[in-house]
A and B are shown apart, each in its own frame.
Chain A
Amino acid sequence: MSADERIAVTFDPGSFQELDADLASENPLAFPEYAEKLERGFGATGRRDPIVRGTAALDGMRVSVAVSDFAFMGGSMGSVAGEKITRTLELALDERIPAVVFTATGGARMQEGLLSLMQMAKTAGACRRLSDAGVPFICVFTDPTMAGVLASYASLADVILAEPGALVGFAGARVSAQAQVARVPDNFQTSEFNLEHGMIDLVVPRLEMRETLIRILAHVTQRGGREVGAVMA
């Protein structure tokens, strides 16, 4: 599912206003074949980065939003994605509105080396500020949510939802299997595996995602109203 489709099915029709659409990678390490991969990502999605961010409304409630598009370099997080996620959380903090982020990613972007690793810390820092200020952050894991993103802002949300059957894990399945003498469980690194082990709050089918988000946000912002009740009735 592309970021545009995700936004269309999740938020109030026509409410999404994109921000930072022009933010682009600079190939700071002059990494081999990176420029070509960025161009291919642009060709596939018409965008400059996997992260699409902006503001939107959920049943009338203004939220700061970021959605990852896996079709752009596997949704990997380099400087631009790190910056956009950080700004998403900072806008939420400034306006005291909830942040809602949909992940779809293989992890940190290799082609920006240590700069990518540092985006894990940068986004975690933004989570810390949001959390200290008591502004809610909901993260939705879609297929796949892996490695450097899972091990940073994604796991620091107040509420974590996941789509059924999404791949959710730290290490590539082959690495994990190699590291282990024991048999890898059948549902290893799925949403359900993570639910079973206490790492996520809820597995939510796509068709129920919007309503679930609305209900949770109504509670945590204490703005539970007639409309929300009607949706869930």
Chain B
Amino acid sequence: MARSWREWEKPLVDLEEGIRRLRELRERVAPDKAGALDRQIAEFEQKRDEYIRIKYSRLGAWERTLVARAETRPYTLDYIRYLVDDWVELHGDRRFADDKAIVGGLGRIGERSCVIVGHQKGRDLKSRQYRNFGMAKPEGYRKAIRLFQMADRFNLPVVTFVDTPAADPGVESESRGISQAIAEGMFAMFGLGVPSVSVIIGEGGSGGAIGIAVANRVLMLENSIYSVIPPEGCAAILWRDPTASDRAAAALRLTAKDALELGLIDQIVPEGFGGAHRNPQETASNVKLAIERSLDGLAPLSRDEIREQRFHRFRKIGVVAEPTPTREA
């Protein structure tokens, strides 16, 4: 079992690195030697494509978890760069601080100005720490709530991008009411009279995710995950064995396909050949199209209908056996 995306994709990454070097070499060699190099590059590329086809057609739940966490995957601000026009980031919760693990602001998606909020991770050591690994503190959820409420006042749709391993579990967060902030986030989203769309772009990590994901439409990227607990945690609790994470990932049914089959999400957004990290632009245009279509579908609804639709979307979720329904006394 591979422990990280790097380990799992290593042969592929090596192949891609080889191709890059051959191309560099190709720029520098004499014209009579170029033909041989071209053939070699073509051969490598064919190998790479074949490798991607095989690897990505058989992604198990654990492999998807690794891909969903890949630090080369596009993050919220990347999607904003690709698909949002005239972006203005807005900071702070007006109560305590500006959480760097949740970004928010105003921007245009297609023809519509929207309020956009999403978890933000970092890529290198420094930016990861700066973003607290995408783990938001209470002030992050409170910033989101403030922006949701502003969207409601100005009749702007709300779009959220979900990508967090979990909400921040530290003493600070407990002291400032992380549970209350997450609950309040859901509460605020249920109250919105404007349409909302949430897109799970990477890790949909438990309470940290749902706190900004109570939307009229919930979409998942093909290789994203959405789970009540990380597979490692599940394996540790159930089998006292963190190396059983692959078994736990499968048991938790945390992939986009699972969530769609269980009726918990509305749509899977395709990522293109080899995943979003190989095709950020293509993935972003798929995301943009899906958001626009979702908002088009919600546009005819009144404010009350928007709230009703959202409430019933979540109200109906749950699998229960009810042998003898009791009438209310």
Query: What is the interface of chain A, defined by CB distance below 8 A to chain B?
Result: 17, 19-26, 28-29, 31-33, 54-55, 79-80, 82-83, 86, 91, 94, 108-110, 112-122, 124-129, 131-132, 147-148, 150-156, 169-171, 175-176, 179-180, 182, 184-185, 188-189, 193, 197-199
Contacts and interface: CB of A to CB of B under 8 A. Distances in A.
Interface in B141-196: 166-180, 182-184, 186-187, 190-191
B254 A113 contact: yes
Interface in B208-259: 209-211, 213-214, 226-229, 234, 237-238, 247, 251-254, 258-259
Contact of B174 (A19, A79, A154, A171): A171
Contacts of B247: 32
B167 A170 contact: yes
Interface of B: 166-180, 182-184, 186-187, 190-191, 206-207, 209-211, 213-214, 226-229, 234, 237-238, 247, 251-254, 258-259, 262, 264, 310-311, 314-315, 317-324, 326, 328-329
Contact of A110 (B170, B190, B228): B228
A184 B171 contact: yes
Given A115-B319, A116-B228, A176-B171, 13 more contacts: A19-B328, A82-B318, A108-B228, A110-B228, A113-B251, A114-B264, A117-B210, A125-B315, A127-B187, A154-B183, A176-B169, A176-B174, A184-B171
B49 to A, nearest CB: 33
A24 B321 contact: yes
B320 A170 contact: no
A113 B228 contact: yes
Given A24-B320, A26-B319, A124-B214, A117 B206 contact: yes
Contacts of B323: 22, 24
B184 A155 contact: yes
Contacts of B178: 151, 170
9 contacts: A24-B321, A79-B317, A113-B227, A113-B258, A114-B226, A114-B253, A117-B206, A154-B183, A197-B177
Summarize A's interface: helix, strand, loop or mixed.
helix
A152 B186 contact: yes
B210 A120 contact: yes
A194 B169 CA distance: 15
B174 A189 contact: yes
A23 B320 contact: yes
Contacts of A188: 171, 174
Contacts of A117: 206-207, 209-210, 226-228
A73 B171 CA distance: 27
A110 B237 CA distance: 10
